[in-house]
Amino acid sequence: MAQLLAATQYDIGGIEVNRLLPHMKKRMVGPFIFFDHMGPSHFSQGRGVEVQPHPHIGLSTLTYLIEGNLVHRDSLGNHLEIAPGDVNWMTAGKGIVHSERESFETRGKPHTINGLQSWVALPEQYAGIAPSFEHVDRHALPQMVKGGVMIRVIAGQAYGMTSPIKTYSPMFYVDLIATKGSTLALPSNTQETAIYVIFGTISIEGCTYKSGDLILLDDLNSDVKTIEDSRVILLGGDKWHVAPYIHWNFVSFSKERIEQAKLDWQSGRFPEIPDDNLEFVPLPTKNKKTD
């Protein structure tokens, strides 16, 4: 059996976003507490992405682009550009600030942004660790090709391969491109699993799903086939029996910690981004997430 989780639309920093997690039917899939598909958003020359400095606690953010380039800056001093297939993995821990913008070269011509952003909740014992950041080039990610299916392990462990990214709980995040008529083996028969269709059409136990669908699998022995050439993301991990609280960009098992983070951001007690400190996203009055 499978359950379709419909998206909610947002505009964040000029990017059209379909938000799949958290969902009213399912707050988390494994450690994944947040899952966005950004775009595809098309910009004319001179226009582009403007995600101003904003804070996080209690999670790791994962950025994975399909098209376009983004410039990441953070309060640890990191400043680099992410390209399609690369991975940005930022662990907020006790607190970090970052921004996402574009280079002169990207903003100076018509361009498209299309990619995935996820939040991976930190287990309670790691929620207050020091913040850190990893950028992994696509060529350093493990991958294999078999029977018309290309597989890349972005984070975690799957199909006997392990991503170099340091994770804090059992999980998998996998990119697959498969030709029509392929059968997709699932990474695990014990962990919570969801499938996101980037393009193409797939069949799960006789039901058809298309681009933009996030499908939560109830039966980990489900038969998953491609009806046409398709690209999908498989994500999941060990089930969390207690979900942390989430408010704006803050994740914590303690409501008091979230209230403290809100006060710290309003009072300017979070660290600044060295080369991007002239503006910031104010704390929203409503529970609206910005990333």
Residues with Cβ within 8 Å of 73's Cβ and at least 6 positions away in sequence, in order, are 53, 79, 98, 99, 101, 273, 275, 276
On whether 98 is known to bind a ligand per the annotation, the reply is yes
From residue 172, give the alpha-carbon distance in Å to each of 21, 105, 230. 16, 34, 19
Q: How many angstroms separate the most distant Cα atoms in the chain?
A: 56
Instruction: Quote the CA–CA distance of 127 and 124 in Å, as a whole number.
Output: 5
Residue 56 marked in a binding site? yes
Q: Please give the radius of gyration of the chain, using alpha carbons only, rounded to the nearest integer.
A: 18
Element holding 34 (H helix, E strand): strand 32-43
**Residue 191 · residue 249 · CB < 8 Å:** no
Distances (CA, A) of 27 to 103, 242, 256, 264: 35, 10, 21, 26
- Pick out the residues of the known binding site: 54, 56, 98, 100
- Pick out the residues of the known binding site for Fe cation: 54, 56, 98, 100
